[in-house]
């Protein structure tokens, strides 16, 4: 008798499970979003802050009921700034986690490694921070939240000529880095188009620590400005060697210089770079974002954190408009974006690149003797 009761009970459980599955009551109440960030490796500070800002944005959505009645879950992968690992992370997110939307990668070389794969698999890839011009070329499912390298290279070249009165420029760049080489080309083209002369264009390989041979050649050209298109960790080494050789030149850079003030010494003072925002701006959206980020993480958010926050908001708001995270429907909703965010007012052009402004910052020494940045101005796209 007991055995019969056990069998009947088991059948009831099985039938209950089948009914739940058939009626849809077993459907997940979670909306999964993937991200691939470089939270370890040479630019881990960028990757960690960008991911943390995504989590902040998602928690804000979840606190008010989530998206489409579901709580949003961020599945984060670390690629260590290694393009091969970026690809492995993408495949894992698609095949195991079944995500349809991925925020990433962090750097241009990592993102370029996965754009074609994402497009072919029908995954919407939205990078917050990869600035290389060709990032969105793979297809109509690839978007970004940041301006392009050609824009910031152009901006810094024009700034050098029109605001600093520079007539001669030199460039020192990483020949194996898509980000660095793209910026080099854009700066050189614009500087010469505006009547300037590039007296030296020297290269190095990623991971190099000694740049003295290149700096010696640059010094011989007596440039007015030196454009250094690379990330803060490498720039902190280069600026020291530039000053140690007695080269008195104004140094310029792109958004990769963000966080330089925490890495370099007085040798970086007087340098200028363009960035996606300034945490010291009095814009209400910026003030509120910085306040929330500081309260949660105890540090001031860098520009990549602001981009990660904006990218998350842009994507989740588009999912709400589309009523689904289906990439084909979501891409149309993303193209409807027309709103002010932390890093500025954003719309998208036909190639899914944002139309937005850039901020010019100067490295200065603060009253406490520590390096900080000073807001110089804003440049809008033409």
For residue 251, count other CB atoms closer than 10 A to its CB: 25
CB atoms within 10 A of CB 205: 9
**pLDDT at residue 280 greater than cutoff 70:** yes
Q: What is the pLDDT of residues 296-335, one digit of tens each?
A: 999 999 999 999 999 999 999 999 999 999 999 999 999 9
Any idea where the domains of the chain sit in the sequence? Answer: 30-147+282-351, 150-275+360-379
Q: Is the pLDDT of residue 37 over 60?
A: yes
Spatial strand order of the sheet with 168-174 comes to 197-204, 168-174, 225-227, 250-253, 272-275, 358-365, 371-379
Q: What is the pLDDT of residue 213?
A: 98
Fold observed for domain 150-275+360-379: Rossmann fold (3.40.50)
Categorize the per-residue pLDDT at 380 as very low, low, confident or very high, splitting at 50, 70 and 90: confident
Q: Where are the alpha helices (DSSP H) in the chain?
A: 2-23, 44-63, 83-95, 108-112, 115-120, 149-162, 178-193, 212-220, 232-244, 284-297, 303-322, 327-334
DSSP count for the chain of H helices, then E strands: 12, 15
Better-scored residue on pLDDT, 83 or 13: 83
- For residue 150 the two structure tokens come to 């050609």
Look over the chain and give the mean of its residue pLDDT values, rounded to a whole number: 92
Q: How confident is the model at residue 28 (pLDDT cuts 50, 70, 90)?
A: low
Fold of 30-147+282-351: Rossmann fold (3.40.50)
40 — pLDDT class (breaks 50, 70, 90): very high
Task: Spell out a b/e string for 305-324, using b for 16 or more CB atoms within 10 Å of the CB, else e.
Answer: bbbbbbbbbbbbbbbeebee
Is pTM beyond 0.85? Reply is no
Q: Do domains 30-147+282-351 and 150-275+360-379 have the same CATH topology?
A: yes
Distance CA 363, CA 65 (A): 42
First-to-final CA distance of the chain: 84
CB under 8 Å to 193, separation ≥6 — which residues?
none
Residue 59, pLDDT score: 98
The residue among 11 and 341 whose pLDDT is bigger is 341
Average pLDDT (262-279) is: 94
Residues in the chain: 382
Average pLDDT in the 131-154 region?
Answer: 95
Q: State pLDDT tens for residues 326-360.
A: 999 999 999 999 999 999 999 999 999 999 989 99
- CA 217 vs CA 172, 226, 239, 268: distances in Å: 10, 12, 15, 20
């Amino acid at each position: 008798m007991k055995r019969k009761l056990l069998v009947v009970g088991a059948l009831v459980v099985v039938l209950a499970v089948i009914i739940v599955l058939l009626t849809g009551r077993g459907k997940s109440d979670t909306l999964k979003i993937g991200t691939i960030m470089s939270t370890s490796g040479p630019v881990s500070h960028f990757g960690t802050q960008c991911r943390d800002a995504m989590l902040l944005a998602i928690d804000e959505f979840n606190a008010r009921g989530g998206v489409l009645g579901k709580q949003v879950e961020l599945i984060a992968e670390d690629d260590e700034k290694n393009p091969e690992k970026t690809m492995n992370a993408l495949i894992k997110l698609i095949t195991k986690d079944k995500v349809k939307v991925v925020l990433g990668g962090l750097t241009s070389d990592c993102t370029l490694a996965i754009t074609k794969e994402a497009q072919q698999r029908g995954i919407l890839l939205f990078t917050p921070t990869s600035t290389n011009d060709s990032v969105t070329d793979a297809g109509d499912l690839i978007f970004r939240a940041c301006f392009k390298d050609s824009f910031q290279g152009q901006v810094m070249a024009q700034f050098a000529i029109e605001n600093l009165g520079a007539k001669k420029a030199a460039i020192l760049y990483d020949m194996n880095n898509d980000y660095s080489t793209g910026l080099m080309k854009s700066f050189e083209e614009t500087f010469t188009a505006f009547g300037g002369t590039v007296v030296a264009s020297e290269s190095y390989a990623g991971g190099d620590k000694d740049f003295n041979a290149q700096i010696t050649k640059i010094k011989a050209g007596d440039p007015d400005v030196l454009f250094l298109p690379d990330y803060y960790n490498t720039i902190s080494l280069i600026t020291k060697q530039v000053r140690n050789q007695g080269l008195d030149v104004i140094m310029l850079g792109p958004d990769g210089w963000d966080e330089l003030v925490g890495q370099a010494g007085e040798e970086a003072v007087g340098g200028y770079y363009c960035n996606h925002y300034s945490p010291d701006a009095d814009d209400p959206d910026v003030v509120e974002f910085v306040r929330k980020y500081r309260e949660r993480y105890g540090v001031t958010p860098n520009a990549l954190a602001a981009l990660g926050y904006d990218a998350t908001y842009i994507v989740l708001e588009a999912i709400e408009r589309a009523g689904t995270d289906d990439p084909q429907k979501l891409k149309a909703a993303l193209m409807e974006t027309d709103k002010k965010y932390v890093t500025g007012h954003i719309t998208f052009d036909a190639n899914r690149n944002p139309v937005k402004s850039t901020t010019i910052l100067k490295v200065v020494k603060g009253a406490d003797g520590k390096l900080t940045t000073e807001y110089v101005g804003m440049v809008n796209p033409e």
